[in-house]
C-alpha cells in the first residue's frame, strides 16, 4: 500500500508545522484551518479510520484523547475545544489515516457544516 500523506508528514518527507510529537503520535497545524486553532492529532500507526481500529488499538485511542487534554494545557485553550473525527468519505474524511481535529477559538453550531 502506498504511504498516506500523514505518513509522509510523520516521516518528515513533507514539511508541516509540528506542535507536539511523542512516540505514538504527532500533532500538526491543519493547512486549511476552520478555527483560530485547528490542529490534527495523528497516530503514527496508520489506522485508515476510526471504524477500522481494533481492540489492540484501545490504548492508542486513549492516548490520542489524552494528547488533546495535554494540548489544551500547553496552548492555554482554557479547557475550551472541540474534537471531530470524520469517519468515511460520506462523513467528509479526505485522508485515510485516522486523525482527530482539535478546534478552538470559535463556537460551532452542532453539527458543524
Ligand atoms: P479529513 O477531511 O480527512 O477529516 O481531514 C483532513 C485534513 O487534513 C483537512 O482538514 C485538510 O485541511 C488537512 N490537510 C490536507 N492536506 C494537508 C497538508 O498537506 N498538510 C496539513 N498540515 N494539513 C493538510
Q: Does the bond joining 111 to the residue before it have cis omega, within 30 degrees of 0?
A: yes
Element (H, E) at 95: none
Predicted TM-score (pTM) of the model is 0.96
State the pLDDT confidence band at 110, using cuts at 50, 70 and 90.
Answer: confident
Ligand 1 centroid–CA 80 distance in Å is: 22
Q: Which residue lies with its CA nearest to atom 24 of ligand 1? A: 31
**Count of helix runs (H) and strand runs (E) in the chain:** 2, 5
Q: Mention every residue, 6+ apart, whose C-beta is less than 8 A from residue 2.
A: none
The terminus-to-terminus CA distance of the chain in angstroms comes to 32
Ligand 1 centroid–CA 7 distance in Å is: 12
Give residue 42's pLDDT: 98
Q: What is the pLDDT of residues 62-108, one digit of tens each?
A: 999 999 999 999 999 999 999 999 999 999 999 999 999 999 999 88
| Residue 99 annotated in active site | yes
Q: Mention every residue, 6+ apart, whose C-beta is less than 8 A from residue 86.
A: 92, 93, 94, 101
Q: What is the pLDDT of residues 4-35, one digit of tens each?
A: 999 999 999 999 999 999 999 999 999 999 99
Closest approach atom of ligand 1 to CA 32: 12
Domain 5-96 annotated CATH 3.40.50.2300: no
Ligand 1: residue of 94, 98, 101, 102 to mutate (most ligand atoms within 8 A of CB) is 94
Residue ranges covered by each domain of the chain: 5-96
pLDDT of 113 higher than 90: no
Amino acid at each position: 500500500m502506498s504511504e498516506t500523506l500523514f505518513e509522509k508528514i510523520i516521516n518528515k518527507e513533507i514539511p508541516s508545522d509540528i506542535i507536539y510529537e511523542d512516540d505514538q503520535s504527532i500533532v500538526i497545524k491543519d493547512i486549511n484551518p476552520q478555527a483560530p486553532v485547528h490542529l490534527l492529532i495523528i497516530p503514527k500507526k496508520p489506522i485508515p479510520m476510526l471504524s477500522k481500529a481494533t481492540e489492540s488499538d484501545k490504548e492508542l485511542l486513549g492516548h490520542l484523547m489524552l494528547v488533546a487534554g495535554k494540548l489544551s494545557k500547553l496552548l492555554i485553550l482554557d479547557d475550551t475545544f472541540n474534537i471531530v473525527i470524520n469517519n468515511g468519505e460520506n462523513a467528509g474524511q479526505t485522508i485515510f489515516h485516522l486523525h482527530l481535529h482539535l478546534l478552538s477559538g470559535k463556537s460551532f453550531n452542532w453539527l458543524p457544516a
